[in-house]
């Protein structure tokens, strides 16, 4: 929800980033305040996922210009783990499989690391087990997934649920969900979306990175941004997503070009 007096969580200005020497983000400006849900849309290759990874601090990407401020302080100097502990969460488009690490062990380690950072009590395996099972219930997840290796052999939908489970455990202030809807069937999409909605509060914010509009039927965004060629080229309300669904992305770029032409 948009509240006039809520504080700014994320402020991105003129952000440029490269991977392997190729510039992917060409100048991004975005402001996210607490309580808001933003959808970041755009065609493949427009830089959506790169932007998400840069925010989380992926070491393969180099920031070459601009600023990212998170709760008033620069994010760029923070290691990925420091960003996570500060309350930033990236839900992965392709969650990583880690054979040999039990999901329960991984979830507890992550949970306790963040708890310790917040000066709260860590949970021992037994306490954590009770706690995580409650959270899993809300996402319709089978507790068997605790005993399996992290994401190993999980279906696409199970992996995404596991991501939202992590979000539920870590209670981030800013969650960036990268194509959480891809690979989900309609039922799984609804369950995952309900899970996300339940986690949305006045004090946190969510950025949904998505290619399609369908997830936005369940999680209604306050703002929809369209990315093209490494920039945000259009911003609107939730109705913009419907228009994109109906008309595709090409017209946004054409409109921008026309406007640029008129100005010249």
Nearer to another protein, 12 or 170 (CB): 170
If the CB atoms of residues 116 and 220 are measured against another protein, the closer one turns out to be 116
Please report, as residue ranges, which positions from 202 to 241 form the binding site for another protein (by CB under 8 A): none
Q: Judged by CB, which is closer to another protein: 46, or 93?
A: 93
CB of 174 to another protein, least distance (A): 13
Q: Where are the alpha helices (DSSP H) in the chain?
A: 48-56, 80-85, 103-117, 125-138, 156-170, 186-199, 238-247, 250-263
Q: Does 103 bind another protein (CB under 8 A)?
A: no
Q: Report the C-alpha gap between 95 and 69 in whole angstroms.
A: 26
Query: How many residues sit in the footprint of another protein (CB under 8 A)?
Result: 29
Binds another protein by CB under 8 A, chosen from 113, 182, 217, 238? 113
Give Dmax over CA atoms of the chain in angstroms: 66
Report the residue count for the chain.
264
CA dihedral 55, 57, 58, 59 (to 10 degrees): 140
Q: What share of the chain is helix, strand, coil (3-state, %, to 5)?
A: 40, 30, 30
Binding flag, residue 56, another protein (CB under 8 A): yes
For residue 125, state whether it binds another protein (rule: CB under 8 A): no
Residues near another protein (CB under 8 A) are: 56-60, 79-81, 83-85, 89-90, 92, 95-96, 98-101, 106, 109-110, 113-114, 117, 149, 166, 170
């Amino acid at each position: 929800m948009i509240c006039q007096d809520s504080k700014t969580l994320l402020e991105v200005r003129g952000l440029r980033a490269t991977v392997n020497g190729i510039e992917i983000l060409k100048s991004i400006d975005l402001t996210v305040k607490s309580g808001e849900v933003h959808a970041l849309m755009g065609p493949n290759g427009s830089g959506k996922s790169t932007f998400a990874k840069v925010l989380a601090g992926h070491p393969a990407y180099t920031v070459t210009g601009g600023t990212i401020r998170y709760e008033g302080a620069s994010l760029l100097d923070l290691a990925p783990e420091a960003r996570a502990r500060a309350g930033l969460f990236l839900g992965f488009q392709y969650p990583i499989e880690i054979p040999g690490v039990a999901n329960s062990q991984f979830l507890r380690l992550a949970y306790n690391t963040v708890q310790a950072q917040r000066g709260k009590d860590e949970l021992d395996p037994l306490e954590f087990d009770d706690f995580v099972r409650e959270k899993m219930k809300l996402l319709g997840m089978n507790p068997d997934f605790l005993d399996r290796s992290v994401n190993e052999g999980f279906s696409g939908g199970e992996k995404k649920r596991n991501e939202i489970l992590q979000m539920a455990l870590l209670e981030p202030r800013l969650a960036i969900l990268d194509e959480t809807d891809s690979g989900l069937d309609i039922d799984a999409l609804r369950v995952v979306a309900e899970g996300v909605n339940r986690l949305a509060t006045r004090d946190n914010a969510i950025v949904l990175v998505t290619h399609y509009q369908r997830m936005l039927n369940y999680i209604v965004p306050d703002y929809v941004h369209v990315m093209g060629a490494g920039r945000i080229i259009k911003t609107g309300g939730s109705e913009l997503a419907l228009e994109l669904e109906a008309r595709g992305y090409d017209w946004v770029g054409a409109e921008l070009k026309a406007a640029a032409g008129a100005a010249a």
